[in-house]
Amino acid sequence: MERIWEKINDFSFRLVFNIVLAIIIGLALILHFLSWNFSEKIFIAFSIIGLLPVARSAVLTLIRKKLTIDLLASIALIFAFIAREWHSAAFISLMLAFARIFALWTDRKAQHILEHLLKYRPQQVKVQRNSQTIEIKAEQLMVGDLVVVESGDVIPIDGLVVSGQASINEATITGESELVVKKQGEQVLSSTINESGSLLVKAEKIGKDSTVEKIIALISEATGRKSQSERISDKFTTWYILITLLGSILLFLFSKNINLVLSVLLVTCADDIAVAVPLGFTLAISRAAKMGVLIKGGGVVENLAKIKFFMTDKTGTLTYGKPKISQVNFFDNINESDFLKIVGTASINSHHPASQAAIKYLKERDISIELPQDFLEKPGEGIIIKKNGNNIIVGSLNFLERSGFVATNEQLAMFDKAKQIGLSIAAYGKNGQIVGFLAFEDALRPNAKEILEKTKHLGVVSWHMLTGDNEKVALRVAKEVGFDNFKAGLKPQDKLLFIENFKKQNKGVLAMMGDGVNDAAALALADVSIAMGKGGSDASIEAADVALMKDDLKKVPQIIDFSQQAVRIIKHNFWVWGTVNAVGLVLVFMGTLNPMTAALYNFLTDFLPILNVFRINFLKKSSP
């Protein structure tokens, strides 16, 4: 018996059953209208077969103390049996079979996104171990493995290119089909495809920690979240069923006309809206995924459409988060060659972004770098090294001054000049004297200003930048982009406090955009949160409602515009449904529709809301 129920619950079985049932009943009704003489027993049999799944569903939901449209449909079928309206009953069964097909298709649509990603998980991978290339199972991969990726291979891990060059198709992650060239020192993502070339990649994230596995987990979570419209639809369905049943009972008591009651039930059976609303949000989430944007549920789609206020981090969100040397300044007490040697020796053992930028700068100019004898890095302060008997220190001017270094007035003027234009400073000192400094800038992502303006055209009232960077740097970015307000020098708890206070003082959907671990709490507090999925931290991506799989700010106005269009289409369905039902009821009470024609009317108009939501599949991406 258990195996029988498993088979009945199987997706393929249910889909085939309903398709076959719809085809048989549909053909029988068409032939009946063409004056073929069918025995009533055939339509009785069809009606009973059609009643079984809907009655089972109604009973199961009643046990769970829920009312669904299946209950109303079951009552309509029972009334049709009492009235001996077998053709009407057959029409109800046909209508319900189509509703179940669309519902099953909706569920399948959500699963299809996951299956599309799952097929990009290779079973076997090639790795270099002990100077040999061997093939192992994907689950045997370890962090630190050197993975060989040849032309045509799917990249199985997130990692760093150690050697080689290749053209990578990142469409599975970012939604962009344009090939991206990857070479030594650059990051590659799991499930992307090597179209040409070869790479040796050091595995950094494997299994459930890889990008593709996180996407699969996020989409699984998204499909289980209901939107406000879906929740309203569920509540509406409950009240609608109660009112319809009560109205039908009263109508029968006053009219004693069972055919009139049956006609009303047939016109008002709202299975179309019950299918169309969740289908619309599933289509929206699926379409967004193809655009390279992961949305965690229908409720997020609705919030995206209503954003009034935008908060954003700066580093790694508005900017690339990778400092670039803008100025090299050395003073009279040293020559350029010796200064650059100090820079290289102080930076070579550090993983700080500024040190990495300095090393890149020196390598591009073929300047040799020597290792220090002693190396000490103080996080958040600076670096202290010894080289050939010289004591060298690197960091902020405050750090050097606390360490006993004194800057001349001329040097202070040069520092101030760089800071005034919003540059970050790393000062270098040798044996008690300040010998020079590097000035860094973090380049803005392209079109930041245009993107802000575009969102304001879409209804965003104001943008606020929240950054841990200094006031001068923040001011430069704020002016360049055109922010309404900015706050500098903020710690993670400061961002959280600012958002809490802002929400108390302003009504409307508040969005937060960020990429780092320090943004995770602020992202979780916002009404809708957007994370940089490609370069962002795992914590920020998990805390966020939306992940941009390609760190492209152009996606922000695109996804807001798309969500607004999608929500409008979904909400149109309530108007479509209401208009259709009102017209149908008028026709019933005018005597134009009897049970048979009421069933036909409901069947034909059922397709209007469902066909309407399919427009979401054809929404075009706007350009900033």
Which of 62-76, 104-118, 370-384, 393-407 has the weakest average pLDDT?
104-118
Options 70, 313, 442, 519, the catalytic residue: 313
**What pLDDT was estimated at residue 107?**
62
What DSSP character marks residue 330? Answer: E
Whether residue 510 has pLDDT greater than 90 = yes
Higher pLDDT, 190 or 272: 190
Break the chain down into helix, strand, coil percent, rounded to 5: 55, 20, 25
DSSP 273-297: HHHHHHHHHHHHHHHHHHTTEEE-S
What is the signed CA dihedral for 30, 32, 37, 39, rounded to 10 degrees? 100
pLDDT, tens only, 356-374: 889 988 988 888 888 888 8
Higher pLDDT, 1 or 385: 385
As a whole number of angstroms, the distance between CA 265 and CA 268 comes to 5
Which of 215-229, 370-384, 397-411 has the weakest average pLDDT?
215-229
- For residues 196-220, one letter each, b for 16 or more C-beta atoms within 10 angstroms of the residue's C-beta and e for the rest, the string is ebebbbebbbbeeebbbbbbbebbe
pLDDT, tens only, 95-107: 777 777 776 766 6
**What pLDDT was estimated at residue 305?**
92
Whether residue 147 has pLDDT greater than 90 = no
Whether residue 456 has pLDDT greater than 90 = yes
The answer to whether the beta carbons of residues 430 and 334 sit under 8 Å apart is yes
**What pLDDT was estimated at residue 227?**
47
How do beta strands 390-395 and 382-387 pair?
Answer: antiparallel
Q: What is the mean predicted confidence (pLDDT) over 256-272?
A: 77
Whether residue 196 has pLDDT greater than 60 = yes
**What pLDDT was estimated at residue 144?**
85
**What pLDDT was estimated at residue 561?**
94
**What pLDDT was estimated at residue 428?**
94
Q: What is the mean predicted confidence (pLDDT) over 308-319?
A: 84
Distance of CA 374 to the CA centre of its chain: 47
Mean pLDDT comparison of 58-62, 268-272, 329-333, highest-scoring range? 329-333
**What pLDDT was estimated at residue 7?**
43
As a whole number of angstroms, the distance between CA 551 and CA 2 comes to 49
On the 0-12 / 13-18 / 19+ scale of CB atoms within 10 A, 394 is buried
Residue 616's alpha-carbon distances to 213, 378, 465, in angstroms, are 27, 54, 33
DSSP 261-279: HHHHHHHH--HHHHHHHHH
Which of 227-231, 303-307, 571-575, 615-619 has the weakest average pLDDT?
227-231
Which amino acid, residue 267? V
Structure tokens at 406: 């004194």
Contacts of 234 (CB under 8 A, 6+ apart): 226
Residue 448: count of CB within 10 angstroms of its CB? 20
- Is residue 571 within a helix (H) or strand (E), and if so which, with residue range? helix 555-589
Using a pLDDT cut of 70, give the percent of the chain over it.
80
**What pLDDT was estimated at residue 350?**
84
pLDDT, tens only, 384-437: 999 888 899 998 888 888 888 888 889 999 988 888 777 888 899 999 899 999
Question: Is 484 among the residues known to form the active site?
Answer: no
Which of 121-125, 369-373, 423-427, 594-598 has the weakest average pLDDT?
121-125
Residue 121: count of CB within 10 angstroms of its CB? 15
Higher pLDDT, 221 or 609: 609
Q: What is the mean pLDDT of the chain?
A: 78
As a whole number of angstroms, the distance between CA 331 and CA 206 comes to 48
Which of 238-247, 465-474, 587-596 has the weakest average pLDDT?
238-247
